[in-house]
Structures are given as C-alpha cells and as structure tokens.
Amino acid sequence: MELTYRRFDPSQASEADALVAFLTADTWPFHGAAVVDAAQARRWVAEGRFDGDDTRTFWITHGGDALGLIRLMDLGDSTPVFDLRLRTRYRGRGVGGHALAWLTAYLFAEFPEVRRIEGTTRQDNAAMRRTFRRCGYVKEAHYRDGWPAADGGAVHDAVGYAILRRDWLTGTTTPPAWDDEPS
C-alpha cells in the first residue's frame, strides 16, 4: 500500500471539517477519550491543537482516502512526542509501522536539534508496543496506574518508548540502564 503524508492546513475550512469528521466517525480506544464529539473536536481545532508553533499534523493518505492522522507536538523541544490515530479498518495492516517510521525520519530530518522522540501508550495496546519495537524504539518507562480511562472507570498502566537520533542513524538500539538503583 502506497501511503502519503499531507500536512493539515487549518486555514482551510474544508480541512477543519474533514478533521472533525475523522475524529468523530471512529473510536479511539487507546486515547484519552475513546469517543470525540463534534463540539470538542471543533474546540481543539480552534485552540490550535493541530497546528501551531510547536505542533504539526499530517494526514496519512492512500488514493485520496484519509487512513489516519499524525500529530507531532513539542517541536521546539529536543524531545518531541506524537499522537497517532488510525481508522479502525486500517489497524493491523502495517499502516502504523509505516507512519511511525515516516514520522521518525521526518522529525530527525526537519529538526536537527531533536535528540530523541518519545511515545506513550497503554500497556494493553499490544499492537502499538510491537510497532514501537519494530521501528527501533526502546521501552524506557512503565507508569503503574498512569492512564485513567476517560469514563472514570478502570485505570491502566502506561508504557513509554523512545528512539535516540544516534540509534536511528546507526540502526542500533541502546537499552536503558535498568539495574542502576543505588544500594
């Protein structure tokens, strides 16, 4: 599948409408809110959540169809983070891995000051965790009860991954020093 990445343009009303339609037409089980209503999505667009000095958003497309969305954040920092959302029907088809590899290369190429890229997911998001590892990201953190469910119910563990520029350049991984607790 030939994927392309097109920057979201908030100055176009049709883009904002498409983003609202994208966010409200599907469910996002591993995000803060599994369901996004139109009013909330429009507020997010108006507040600049998807484009600004520190944020860029890209559509993941194939043949003109929007398969997903990548939001890059903290771009003024040496350690940006991202939000990756795929429509349900495209999950489990390799799109996430392609998108993660693309955003990693994009960030390291466009922002020379970026030393590392971080991503966090719920512990039970096995597909994303496998994708992180396949793309050279290393598990660096495990946050117990760190991801409250949007409905106020269950609390999940969160897991943090990152990739270092030097590892990305060399195709290696540097594991964290897990056994460094002082005695």
Residue 66: count other Cβ atoms within 10 Å of its Cβ.
16
Domains: count for the chain: 1
Residue 58 pLDDT grade (very low, low, confident, very high; cuts 50, 70, 90): very high
Residue 10 to residue 42: CA distance in whole angstroms: 11
Residue 147 pLDDT grade (very low, low, confident, very high; cuts 50, 70, 90): confident
Residue 30 pLDDT grade (very low, low, confident, very high; cuts 50, 70, 90): confident
* Range 175-180 average pLDDT: 89
Residue-averaged pLDDT of the chain: 92
Checking if the pLDDT of 172 tops 90, the result is: yes
Is the whole model's pTM more than 0.85, yes or no?
yes
Task: Examine residue 42 and state whether it is found in any structural domain, yes or no.
Answer: yes
* Range 1-9 average pLDDT: 93
- 55: which DSSP letter? B
Task: Examine residue 17 and state whether it is found in any structural domain, yes or no.
Answer: yes
pLDDT of residue 151: 67
Residue 75 pLDDT grade (very low, low, confident, very high; cuts 50, 70, 90): very high
Checking if the pLDDT of 178 tops 90, the result is: no
Task: Examine residue 124 and state whether it is found in any structural domain, yes or no.
Answer: yes
Task: Examine residue 183 and state whether it is found in any structural domain, yes or no.
Answer: no
Higher per-residue confidence, 31 vs 118: 118
Q: In terms of residues, how long is the chain?
A: 183
Task: Examine residue 23 and state whether it is found in any structural domain, yes or no.
Answer: yes
CA dihedral (73, 68, 140, 122) in degrees, to 10, reads 110
Higher per-residue confidence, 10 vs 67: 67
* Range 107-117 average pLDDT: 97
Task: Examine residue 181 and state whether it is found in any structural domain, yes or no.
Answer: no
Residue 103 to residue 58: CA distance in whole angstroms: 9
Residue 31 to residue 63: CA distance in whole angstroms: 27
Task: Examine residue 175 and state whether it is found in any structural domain, yes or no.
Answer: no
pLDDT of residue 181: 86
Write the CATH number for 103: 3.40.630.30
Beta-bridge partners for 121? 159
**Which residues form the domain of 105?**
4-170
Task: Examine residue 21 and state whether it is found in any structural domain, yes or no.
Answer: yes
* Range 35-50 average pLDDT: 89
Checking if the pLDDT of 59 tops 70, the result is: yes
* Range 148-157 average pLDDT: 80
